[in-house]
A and B are shown apart, each in its own frame.
Chain A
Amino acid sequence: MTAVADLMDYAEVVERYDPVLGLEVHVELNTNTKMFCGCPNRFGGEPNTHVCPTCLGLPGALPVVNGTAVESAIRIGLALNCEIAQWCRFARKNYFYPDMPKNFQTSQYDEPIAFDGHLDVVLDDGEVVRVGIERAHMEEDTGKSLHVGGATGRIHGAEHSLLDYNRAGVPLIEIVTRPIVGMGERAPEVARAYVTALRDLLRAMHVSDVRMDQGSLRCDANVSLMPKGTEEFGTRTETKNVNSLRSVERAVRYEMTRQAAVLAAGGDIVQETRHFQEADGTTSAGRVKETAEDYRYFPEPDLVPIAPSREWVEQLRTTLPELPWERRRRIQQEWGLTDEELRDLVNTGAADLVAATVEEGATPGEARSWWVQYLNQQASGREVELAALPITPAQVARVIALVNSGELTNKLAREVVQGVLAGEGEPDDVVEKRGLKVVSDDSALITAVDEALAAQPDVADKIRGGKVQAAGAIVGAVMKATKGQADAKRVRELVLERVGA
């Protein structure tokens, strides 16, 4: 392994240097099919089973653009306040790599579908930073390689590699910021907040799964430093392999402290790709970019230009959902939350989920209680983000409705949620399959109550004698007999009724 890098104390870094950030985010769209062929766009699967001549790059096969992907690209551009191109083309980006079947990536070059936009990002203390968006363009994903042999399954030291092209050709939108300057010590936080805002936005639009852990949202962080008082950007590094929101922040911070130490020692920053190490929060050098790569871009002759009509663009604009931060502002007012309460809600990642649950008919209080408490525990237990739990706001709202109508007790409701999380289907399916319905049929309950009274005649007498608290023992027996599926309040009423108290 390489020697541990010298690092500069963070406070000193921000005293002596101004950081410049550039963030490139690749988002996999959640279309049914790939960008240029009809293969399923699905995560995982047996290797090389979601492939066809086109995405395998077989000789003679041709691409045809997925219209829904173009629609998503335009919607994303609009949500990022971009201009939408009147006319644009795909281009070929030529370079050799075994996971890229044609040895060129069909991408967009000097004619992106969306450009010149911005995203307003809210920091933890409520400050709003406007991040400039240079462009958002369409392209295709690569296949995946599995490195066999060697120590760690990594590329270095591997004996050979195995290629799976299921992911090759999955539609990607690449979103590139303008240089983010003037953030000072908050630069790492801004980086995280930007990616978070982007993720929330794309999720609200239902255009992507935005799962950083599965790679459907990937962030490359470009970082450079310039000595305070100067305006010329320094040499930058590009850190890849940043797989969580927290890592975005850590990677930027680490690069700042590493680069500052190099510069302070009179060294030069090497323009290179670096890899983030999740385990220790460091970055390590990858491929050196000797000179700018010569990708020999040229217009893709197999695809015709895209010229979105203004009517189409305006129609797509009407499909944009309420933006997450607008929605937050609204729910704060409607629910009467303090800034702090809202921030907690946002920080657990629950705000949008709660709002969506409310939109499905639950009250804000019920929805908050489920997401912030029970479901948040479940997420921590599984070490996933709240939004990654396999339950939707609509399903949570349905569980709440079942409780409110008396069909489920709170205890049963939690069991139903467990069933949903376990993939047993919709809440109603779980109720049905697990037989969890509250016994609300009085005649069934009366039989159970009578049996319990008959089994404990002494208790029955006590109740009859005015010792109403003794009813608890009978209620308990009935609840046990009905496996907890009775409404305890109703059972109590029936007990008192039956003994004639």
Chain B
Amino acid sequence: MQFRSLVLTSVLLPLLPLTAAAQAGRLVLPDFSALSKKASQSVDISLDPSLMGLANGILAGTSNPNTAVIKDLASGVQGVYVRSYKFDEDGAYSKADVDAIRAQLVAPWVSLVSTHDRKQQSDVDIFVNRSGERTAGMAIITSKPRELTIVNIVGPIDLAKLGQLQGQLGVGLGLGGDVSAHPPSKGD
């Protein structure tokens, strides 16, 4: 019995750093259900490792050239979490909603890009979680007067490949143009 425990421990122990590394890039996203009710359009995506595995399995079976970059990019990713809300009027969300996430973005998280557009009144911050040469996670926070978007990608992500997404998918798509965004239900 003791031998079995010893074997089990020796097998599981080396896996602990891997689990810790995977969780290192994960942010705790607050409950945004109140914002979701106020939003004219909202997107709530939570893809955990098991769902990522299923999604990668499906994408691997497709030969669509448009999804080739995503297939390549998502192959090592362990989770994708998106909260995106678009409102009909300014100031529908408070700074405190974003601060709860910003508070988590301390070392080993580092700011990669931070832009502030006074004219557009928009802020975009990109953070990466680095452990040595590896990127364990990524966070994007976009706050505009009528839009709040938080993206958290967990796991090793190739920033060069991510750059390839630019112009391939997002041009002119935005949140408003995305047909798959969930409009709030009538009761909200």
Same complex origin of A and B: no
